[in-house]
A and B are shown apart, each in its own frame.
Chain A
Amino acid sequence: MLSSSSLTIGYHQPITSGLDLQLRPAEMVCLIGPNGAGKSTLLRTLAGMQTPLSGVIKLGEADLHSLPALDLAKQLAVVLTGRVEAGNLSAYALVTLGRHPYTDWRGRLTPHDEEAVRHAMRLTGSDVLASRPIHELSDGERQRVMIARALAQEPSILLLDEPTAFLDLPRRVELLQLLKRLSRETNCAILLSTHDLDLALRIADRLWLLSSHGELHIGLPEELALNGSLARIFHSEGIEFDHASGAFKVHQPVYGPISLHGEKDGVATAWTWRALERIGYEVHNNGARHPVHVDVLDANHWHLTTPKGQSEHITLRSLIETLSP
């Protein structure tokens, strides 16, 4: 287990101080916060790559920053941000580099080392990539290989700095699901920084929310949404977080209110809502009726009431076009 007490991090100037952190086995923690808040600095400090300005980090019973580098490498592995260019190596050869702390001076792999490498590759689903050269892999495949490399170190702590940064949406979901599964299957404590708030809220066991003023809020994702920490931190960054939907508000209303009525939880209602918000209406469906009102009958029928009159629509597009100026 990784823990810190009264930790102050930063380069010369403290970024944040008084941190009492804990990473528990089989737990996946997402570190969230705006750019420049110091996510990387925190990760690097916890990884022992940067010394804290004050305070201690403990790995089990030992002081992390005074552990011999090789001992640390057997307990803690990192996946750093940015694309890795490791030259003309096969994915397998790259993952074997993770055995560095265990092999002899010539770097020879024992059967146990080879099994650890293969196990790490199977766990991450990168075994099928084993003989492919690393520079031919897609970003998602490469990231899986880099995670396999880290797992080959057989760590109890795995730290990842923005592992989803270069990936498209499906690959991001896949990667976070993979990490979550790994935390369960390997009993590893996993901490990753990410910008994907939506995904982190849904998948993390715990969130570390770092604001640009250096406050760190820790809790279940739902807890931080409920107690308003999420909304507060992102409000100061100039974006609104909607408690109810658990997402950022993207649209600024320009047309005034519109009331929406449809079956509760209906898919058609939900998407009509989004379309109305997108073109600039402030949508209500609390039962009150506004001068402009839409009834969603089903996915093929909309009934629109405006002060000018009523109309029927059989496509969402015709409804939206009528409401647009």
Chain B
Amino acid sequence: MNSSSSFPRLGLRTRIVALLIVILVAAFILSLTLGSVRIPPDQVLRILTGGEPDKASWMDVIFKFRLPKAVTGMLVGAALSVAGLQMQTLFRNPLADPFILGVSSGASLGVALVVLGTGAGGASAFITGLNVFGDLSLAVAASLGAGLVLGAVLIVSRRVQNTLTLLILGLMFGYLTNAIVSLLIYFSQPERVQAFSLWAAGSFGGVTWNQMRVFFPVIALGLFIGYVMIKPLNALLLGDEYARSLGLNVRRARFWIILSASLLAGVSTAFCGPVWFVGVAVPHVARSLLNTADHRALLPASMLMGASFALVADVIAQSPGSQYVLPLNVVMSLFGVPIILWVILRQKQLRQSFAS
């Protein structure tokens, strides 16, 4: 036996990357094609490459609505999948999601305070629609809420030796904010509650090109930090003690990993509401399909798969050809759960991947 051939290759194979990119591009084109009006793919391509479509109104549909929504969807899908992967590895827990440290609870509290707590003017401004001011104030409130929790978690993470303590603190904080939100809902008028639950249902449609100037760089920064943290994440696969024995500064690595995940989850929630499911499910699908726990393969794969998954979920939520728009979170769970169950149950490695 040739000794060099008996050692497996590591990392993500080019063929798989190519496949994932093809799927993503297809999902991207699909999401621009389908909606309340169908715009043929060739017309979509013509518009994207700067040509004139057959119908001038399609130009607006693409540039004002579908393109920002598709870009947002891709970014959020990628962001939450990477954040979920990071949290699952950091906490050695398959149920960890991007929001486990309470970032989305913080965002919810911020939004709840604005929508449920302010005067009728603010809330009705939100209800009456995609008014830029109303929108932005929500994003700002959510960002402030998420940022506050993020800060608190980071400060605690530098002091706490045990990673599990952080997890419990995050959970407790989540319960606390949920209680406050419930209290606010309890004392609020129905239409404001409606407005709040609209935000909580999640949507990629709210991010304008203007907001994209904040949204995109923050996500890019979070993903970049995530990329730099691939090596520490791999070292953490063996647990904190082995990671330390390999020369890793575990506290510092944890700080940056949490910063990355919280930026990704926080800004996604601030602009799109808490989008559940994708963050917990996609890393499992990636692990299952690639059959590895190596983050050099998992992180880019989760990013690409998450982006595709979010785009497809959003296409279904638009229920093409009809006037109805389903809540994004509903679609994610209804269509996502069976697929993910199939993928995960097909391979019985979940327990081995996480038992610690």
Q: What is the interface of chain A, defined by CB distance below 8 A to chain B?
A: 47, 49, 68-74, 76-78, 80, 84-90, 92-94, 96-98, 100-101, 103, 105-107, 109, 114, 117-118, 121-122, 127-128, 130-131, 133, 135, 153
Contacts and interface: CB of A to CB of B under 8 A. Distances in A.
Contact of B247 (A47, A73, A96, A117): A73
A68 B248 CA distance: 10
A76 B244 CA distance: 12
Interface string B332-356: 0000000000000000010011111
B8 A93 contact: yes
A98 B247 CA distance: 10
15 contacts: A49-B241, A69-B248, A70-B247, A73-B247, A76-B245, A86-B237, A88-B291, A92-B7, A93-B8, A97-B237, A100-B235, A106-B231, A107-B296, A128-B6, A135-B353
B292 interface: yes
Interface in B1-23: 3, 6-8, 10
A101 B292 contact: no
Contact of A86 (B238, B244, B246): B238
Given A84-B238, A85-B356, A86-B293, A98 B10 contact: no
A49 B245 contact: yes
Interface of B: 3, 6-8, 10, 228, 230-231, 234-235, 237-239, 241-242, 244-249, 287, 291-294, 296, 349, 352-356
Interface of A is mostly: mixed
A122 B6 CA distance: 12
Given A47-B245, A87-B354, A118 B237 contact: no
A88 B246 contact: no
B7 A103 contact: no
Nearest to A150: B245
Contact of B292 (A47, A76, A80, A89): A89
Contacts of A49: 241, 244-245
Given A87-B237, A105-B228, A73 B245 contact: yes
A133 B242 CA distance: 19
A127 B230 contact: no
Contacts of B349: 88, 133, 135
Contacts of A74: 247
B246 A97 contact: yes
Contacts of A106: 230-231
Contacts of B6: 127-128, 130-131
Of B6, B249, B354, most buried by chain A (CB within 10 Å of CB) is B6
Contacts of A105: 228, 231
Contacts of A89: 237, 292-294
Given A73-B246, A80-B245, A118-B7, 16 more contacts: A69-B248, A70-B247, A87-B293, A88-B352, A89-B293, A89-B294, A93-B8, A97-B234, A97-B242, A98-B246, A101-B246, A101-B247, A106-B231, A107-B231, A109-B10, A133-B352
Contacts of A96: 10
Nearest to B288: A88
A97 B245 contact: no
Contacts of B353: 87-88, 135
B291 A80 contact: no
Contacts of B242: 78, 80, 84, 97
A130 B6 CA distance: 7
B312 to A, nearest CB: 26
Nearest to B293: A87
Nearest to A70: B247
Contact of A69 (B7, B247, B294): B247
B246 A153 contact: yes
Contacts of A131: 6-8
Contacts of B3: 118, 122, 127
A97 B232 CA distance: 10
A74 B245 CA distance: 10
B168 to A, nearest CB: 21
Ranked 4 nearest A-B pairs via Cβ:
A87-B293, A73-B247, A135-B352, A107-B231
Contact of A100 (B7, B246, B354, B356): B246
A69 B244 contact: yes
Given A49-B241, A78-B245, A80-B241, A92 B291 contact: no
B310 to A, nearest CB: 25
A219 B247 CA distance: 32
Nearest to B292: A88
A85 to B, nearest CB: 5
A68 B10 CA distance: 29
Contacts of A133: 291, 349, 352
B148 to A, nearest CB: 31
B281 to A, nearest CB: 17
Contact of A85 (B235, B244, B355): B355
Contacts of B249: 69
A182 B246 CA distance: 20
A100 B247 contact: yes
Contacts of A153: 246
Q: Which of B10, B238, B249, B291 has the most CB of A within 10 A?
A: B238
A90 B246 contact: no
Contacts of B228: 105
A118 to B, nearest CB: 6
Contacts of A72: 247
